[in-house]
Amino acid sequence: MNRDTALHIGRFIILILVQVMILNHINFLGFLNPYIYIIFILLAPININKSLFLLVSFLLGLTIDMFGDSGGVHAAACTVIAFFRPVALSSVFGLSYEFQTVKLGNVSFGERLAYVTLMVLTHHVVLFSLEIFNFSHILLIAKKTLFSSLFSIVVIMLVLVVFRRNDS
């Protein structure tokens, strides 16, 4: 086990702990919680084995579900964004993704924001559609998706800036 694998496993555990112990209880304005555990999926290595990545993402979501008593909604949302991550990566970074030279630590702020926004929006749309699971509440789904996404994006960008790795 090399240093990188240990880093990712540590990140997996710490993100779950922070999410379920602190962030799930924020309830800003009564209903807003930031979901930052998807940083794990955002920062996973570009050249990771795809099947392994899907399985780990599913496991990440399922763990959050277990703590939050939410059935399988996080698992579904995580699996979806893990599957569509290559699409998001190539549409945002274009050529540099094709050559696998992207390092999230040293891309421009705009590109990073676009990538995070794309992933968070996809995740939250799936999450809240499944959590509410009722088309008569479609306005509630839209409201929750929009505000939670804003909150999540801001927090995730802050976390990425604060915990930036300096070894490039």
Partner 1 sequence: MQQIINFLIKNKHSLLFILLLFLSLIFTIQSHSYHRSKFVSSTNFISGGMYGWQHAVSDYFSLKEENKRLLQENELLHNQLSALGIDSLSSKFIDTISFDKPYTFTKARIIKNDYSKLDNYILINKGEKDSIFADMGVITDKGIVGIIENTSKNYSRVISILNSNSRINAGLKKSNQYGSLIWDGKDPNIVQLETVPRQAILKEGDTIITHGRSTIFPRGIGVGTIINYTLDQNKSYYLIDVKLFNDMTDIGFVYTIKNRDAEEIKSLEKLKYE
Q: Which amino acid is at 109?
A: F
**Residue 69 interacts with partner 1 (CB under 8 A): yes or no:** yes
Number of Cβ atoms within 10 Å of the Cβ of 3: 6
**Residue 83 interacts with partner 1 (CB under 8 A): yes or no:** yes
Q: Give the residue, chosen from 37, 65, 88, 119, that forms a contact with partner 1 under the rule CB under 8 A.
A: 65
What is the DSSP annotation of 12-37? HHHHHHHHHHTGGG--BTTTB----T
Q: Give the residue, chosen from 7, 9, 55, 158, that forms a contact with partner 1 under the rule CB under 8 A.
A: 55
Q: What are phi and psi of 32, to 5 degrees?
A: -95, 125
Q: What are phi and psi of 25, to 5 degrees?
A: -110, 10
- Whose structure tokens read 């804003």? 150
Q: Give the residue, chosen from 131, 152, 156, 160, that forms a contact with partner 1 under the rule CB under 8 A.
A: 131
**Residue 2 interacts with partner 1 (CB under 8 A): yes or no:** no
Note the residues at the interface with partner 1 (CB under 8 A).
Answer: 20-21, 27, 30-33, 50-51, 54-55, 58, 61-62, 65-73, 75-76, 79-80, 83, 130-134, 137, 140
